[in-house]
Amino acid sequence: MRNAINGLVLVSAAGVLWLFFMPLYRQGEPTLAGKTAPAFSFTLDGKPMQLADMHGKVVVLNFWASWCPPCVEETPSLNRLQAQIAPQGGVVLAVSEDDSEPNYQKFLRDQNVNFPTWRDPEQKVNLAYGTTIFPETYIIDRDGKIARKVIGPQEWDRGENYAFLESLLQKQ
């Protein structure tokens, strides 16, 4: 019995290590770079839209949820980023995985969210992107190609992430 428990613990530990070393977990996953971002439809301000409507913009596609403390931590920098990149043809587009409309609305109010966001309670879009950890962000270039995938909360309005976005925004 003890050997079986030890074996189960070892297999579990190996599984966790495998997840961390899987290519999908690493920042800036190279196998995604250059691939067309999966298309999806959504509603903003009561208006039906598609990701393709944002062609020509650099899109910071952020997956989040109101119950996610790292998402709360990241939101102020996304607010600042939206203000910085909007005049240059960039946009933060956030997809909430909340199944509760009141929790979603409370988060937007409490965090003073100033970027476009919509709620996908069926989680169809995050599944299409392979998102399993929140927050997770895809940087999509002006041609609709994934330039980078970033997992976890970030300081988006400065440092390496901002420099990377600036380089994309300067390309016309």
φ, ψ of residue 96 to 5 degrees: the values are -90, 140
The tens digit of pLDDT for each residue in 133-169 reads: 899 999 999 999 999 999 999 999 999 999 999 999 9
Tell me whether the omega of the peptide bond preceding residue 135 falls within 30 degrees of 0, making it cis. yes
Taking 80 as the threshold, does the pLDDT of residue 17 lie above it? Answer: no
Domain ranges of the chain: 1-27, 32-170
Report which residue type is found at 172: Q
The top-level CATH class assigned to 32-170 is alpha beta
* SS3 state of residue 151: strand
pTM, entire model: 0.83
Question: What is the rounded distance in angstroms from the CA atom of residue 89 to the CA atom of residue 101?
Answer: 30
The tens digit of pLDDT for each residue in 39-91 reads: 999 999 889 999 999 999 999 999 999 999 999 999 999 999 999 999 999 99
The tens digit of pLDDT for each residue in 104-131 reads: 999 999 999 999 999 999 999 999 999 9
